[in-house]
C-alpha cells in the first residue's frame, strides 16, 4: 500500500544496528513531506552539575508520552459481492456492474445489433493507494514523519546516547510490529478479496459464457426461424396469388354471365311486354267481338222470339186460312145462278192472291 514493508528494519536488525541507522519511508504519490523545522523543537539544555537525573526524567516522560497509534481498522468494499475485510481505510465506491438491470435501455441486443452482442464486461478493479484512500494514509504518514523528526532532533541533542538508542529501538519495534500486523491483516483482506473476486469473476465468466452460448443459440434459432418464416411467407404469397388469380377469373366469368343473364332477362321482358301488348290488343278485339256476339245473341233471341210469334201466328193464320179456303171453295163450287160469271172471275183473282200469300207462308198451296 502506501508504505513498503521491506524498507522497515526488523527487530533483530534494529538491535544490532547503530544509532545512526537510516529509515527509508516511501510514499507512492509524489508529494513533498513536510519536515519540522528545528526552531519548532525546543529542548532545554540540562545543567552540568547534578541535574542529569532530572533531564533524563523529563526526556523519558517526553518519549513515553509519544505512543504511535495504529491505523484505524475500517472496512472497505472490494467487489460487488459485498464482502468486507479489515485493513486500512479506503473510499467505498459503488461497484461497476457489467450489466445494469434497472436500465430499460439495456437489453440483450436490439434491432440495430445483428450479432446480439450489445453489452461488454469490464472486470472490477481493486482500488489502490493512488485513489481516494491515499489522503488518509498520507495524513498518518506525515504525522509519523513529524514525530520521527522531533525524536531525531531530541536524540541528537541528548547526552545519553544509550538511553536514546534503546527508546528509538523500542519505538521502532512497536512501529514495525504494528505495521507488520497491519500488513498481515491487509494481506489477509487482499487474499480474501482476491478469492471473492476470483469467485465472482468465475461466476461472471460462466454467466458471460452461458449468455454467449444462449445468444449464439438464439441467433441460430432466430436465423432458422427467419428462413423458415420467409419460405412460408413466399409459399403463402404464391398460394394467395394463385387464389387471387382464380378468384379474379371467377369474378370475370360471373360478371360476363351476369351481363348475359341481364341481357337475356331484358330481351325476355321486352318480348313479354310486346306479347302483353299484343294480348291486350287481342283482348280488346275479343271484348269487342264478345260485345258484338252478345248483341247478335240478343238480336237472335229477339228474332227467335219473333219467329216463334210468327209461327204461332202462322198456325193461327193457317187454321183461319184453311177455314176461309174451305168456305171460299164452297162458295166457288156453289152453282148458284144468282152469282154471275163476272163475280166468279173477280173472286177467283182475289183468292189467287190469297193463295199466293199462303204459299209463301210455309208452302201452303190453294
Q: Is residue 207 part of a domain?
A: yes
Q: What is the pTM of this model?
A: 0.29
Residue-averaged pLDDT of the chain? 67
Q: Hey, what's the cell of 253? A: 366469368
Q: What is the per-residue pLDDT for 356?
A: 72
Least-confidence region, from 97-111, 143-157, 319-333, 352-366: 97-111
Q: What is the per-residue pLDDT for 214?
A: 93
Q: Hey, what's the cell of 155? A: 536524540
Query: Is pLDDT at 144 greater than 80 in this prediction?
Result: no
Q: What is the per-residue pLDDT for 141?
A: 75
Quick one: pLDDT band at residue 364, thresholds 50, 70, 90?
Answer: very low
Q: How many CB atoms lie within 10 A of CB 88?
A: 22
Quick one: pLDDT band at residue 234, thresholds 50, 70, 90?
Answer: very high
Query: Is pLDDT at 251 greater than 90 in this prediction?
Result: yes
Q: Is residue 366 part of a domain?
A: no
Q: Is residue 180 part of a domain?
A: yes
Q: Is residue 22 part of a domain?
A: no
Least-confidence region, from 4-13, 127-136, 193-202: 4-13
Q: What is the per-residue pLDDT for 306?
A: 84
CA dihedral 158, 160, 163, 165 (to 10 degrees): 60
Q: How far is CA 213 from the centre of its chain?
A: 27
Domain count within the chain? 1
When pLDDT is averaged across residues 239-264 and rounded to a whole number, the result is: 92
When pLDDT is averaged across residues 31-46 and rounded to a whole number, the result is: 41
When pLDDT is averaged across residues 21-37 and rounded to a whole number, the result is: 41
Query: Is pLDDT at 98 greater than 50 in this prediction?
Result: no
Q: Which of 78-87, 159-168, 171-180 has the highest mean pLDDT?
A: 171-180
Distances (CA, A) of 211 to 14, 31, 203, 205: 58, 46, 12, 9
pLDDT top residue among 349 and 230? 230
Q: What does residue 90 show for φ and ψ, rounded to 5 degrees?
A: -130, 165
Q: What is the per-residue pLDDT for 135?
A: 64
Digit-coded pLDDT (tens) for 179-196: 788 888 888 888 888 899
Domain with 172, as residue range(s), is: 5-15+51-224
Quick one: pLDDT band at residue 71, thresholds 50, 70, 90?
Answer: very low
CA dihedral 258, 262, 268, 273 (to 10 degrees): 160
Please state the three-class secondary structure of the chain as a single string: CCCCHHHCCCHHHHHHCCCCCCCCCCCCCCCCCCCCCHHHCCCCCCCCCCCHHHHHHHHHHHHHHCCCCCCCCEEEECCCCCCEEEECCCCCCCCCCCCCCCCCCCCCCCCCCCCCCCCCCCCCCCCCCCCCCHHHHHHHHHHHHHHHHHHHHHHHCCCCHHHHHHHHHHHHHHHHHHHHHHHHHHHHHHHHHHHHHHHHHHHHHHHHHHHHHHHHHHHHHHHHHHHHHHHHHHHHHHHHHHHHHHHHHHHHHHHHHHHHHHHHHHHHHHHHHHHHHHHHHHHHHHHHHHHHHHHHHHHHHHHHHHHHHHHHHHHHHHHHHHHHHHHHHHHHHCCCCCCCHHHHHHHHHHHHHHHHHHHHCCCCCC
Residues of the chain with pLDDT > 70: what percent?
Answer: 47
Quick one: pLDDT band at residue 21, thresholds 50, 70, 90?
Answer: very low
Q: Is residue 307 part of a domain?
A: no
pLDDT top residue among 62 and 232? 232
Q: What is the per-residue pLDDT for 211?
A: 92
**Cα Rg of the chain (Å, integer):** 78
Query: Is pLDDT at 200 greater than 80 in this prediction?
Result: yes
Q: Is residue 262 part of a domain?
A: no
Q: Is residue 339 part of a domain?
A: no
Distances (CA, A) of 316 to 29, 310, 321, 341, 357: 178, 9, 8, 32, 15
Quick one: pLDDT band at residue 16, thresholds 50, 70, 90?
Answer: very low
Quick one: pLDDT band at residue 167, thresholds 50, 70, 90?
Answer: confident
Q: What is the per-residue pLDDT for 163?
A: 53
Q: Which of 5-14, 117-126, 210-219, 322-331 has the highest mean pLDDT?
A: 210-219
Query: Is pLDDT at 256 greater than 80 in this prediction?
Result: yes
Q: Is residue 140 part of a domain?
A: yes
Distances (CA, A) of 197 to 78, 124, 189, 203, 264: 8, 8, 12, 10, 94
Amino acid at each position: 500500500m502506501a508504505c513498503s514493508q521491506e524498507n522497515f528494519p526488523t527487530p533483530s536488525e534494529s538491535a544490532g544496528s547503530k544509532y545512526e541507522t537510516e529509515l527509508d519511508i516511501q510514499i507512492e504519490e509524489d508529494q513533498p513531506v513536510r519536515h519540522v523545522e528545528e526552531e519548532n523543537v525546543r529542548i532545554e539544555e540540562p545543567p552540568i552539575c547534578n541535574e542529569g537525573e532530572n533531564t533524563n526524567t523529563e526526556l523519558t516522560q517526553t518519549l513515553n508520552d509519544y505512543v504511535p497509534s495504529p491505523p484505524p481498522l475500517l472496512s472497505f468494499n472490494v467487489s460487488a459481492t459485498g464482502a468486507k475485510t479489515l485493513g486500512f481505510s479506503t473510499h467505498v465506491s459503488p461497484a461497476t456492474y457489467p450489466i445494469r438491470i434497472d436500465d430499460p435501455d439495456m437489453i440483450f441486443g436490439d434491432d440495430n445489433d445483428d450479432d446480439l452482442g450489445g453489452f461488454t464486461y469490464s472486470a472490477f478493479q481493486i482500488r489502490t493507494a493512488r485513489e481516494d484512500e491515499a489522503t488518509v494514509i498520507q495524513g498518518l504518514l506525515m504525522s509519523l514523519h513529524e514525530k520521527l523528526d522531533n525524536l531525531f532532533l531530541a536524540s541528537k541533542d541528548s547526552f545519553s546516547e544509550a538511553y536514546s538508542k534503546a527508546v528509538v529501538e523500542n519505538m521502532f519495534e512497536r512501529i514495525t510490529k504494528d505495521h507488520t500486523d497491519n500488513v498481515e491483516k491487509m494481506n489477509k483482506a487482499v487474499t480474501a478479496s482476491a478469492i471473492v473476486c476470483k469467485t465472482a469473476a468465475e461466476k461472471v465468466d460462466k454467466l458471460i459464457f452461458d449468455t454467449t452460448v444462449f445468444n449464439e443459440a438464439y441467433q441460430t434459432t432466430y436465423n432458422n426461424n427467419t428462413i423458415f418464416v420467409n419460405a412460408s411467407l413466399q409459399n403463402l404469397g404464391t398460394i394467395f396469388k394463385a387464389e387471387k388469380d382464380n378468384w379474379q377469373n371467377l369474378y370475370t366469368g360471373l360478371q360476363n354471365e351476369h351481363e348475359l343473364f341481364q341481357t337475356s332477362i331484358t330481351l325476355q321482358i321486352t318480348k313479354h311486354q310486346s306479347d302483353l301488348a299484343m294480348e291486350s290488343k287481342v283482348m280488346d278485339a275479343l271484348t269487342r267481338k264478345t260485345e258484338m256476339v252478345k248483341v247478335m245473341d240478343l238480336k237472335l233471341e229477339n228474332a227467335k222470339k219473333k219467329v216463334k210469334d210468327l209461327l204461332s201466328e202462322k198456325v193461327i193464320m193457317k187454321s183461319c186460312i184453311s177455314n176461309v179456303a174451305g168456305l171460299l171453295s164452297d162458295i166457288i163450287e156453289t152453282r148458284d145462278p144468282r152469282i154471275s160469271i163476272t163475280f166468279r172471275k173477280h173472286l177467283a183473282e182475289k183468292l189467287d192472291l190469297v193463295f199466293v200469300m199462303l204459299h209463301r207462308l210455309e208452302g201452303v198451296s190453294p
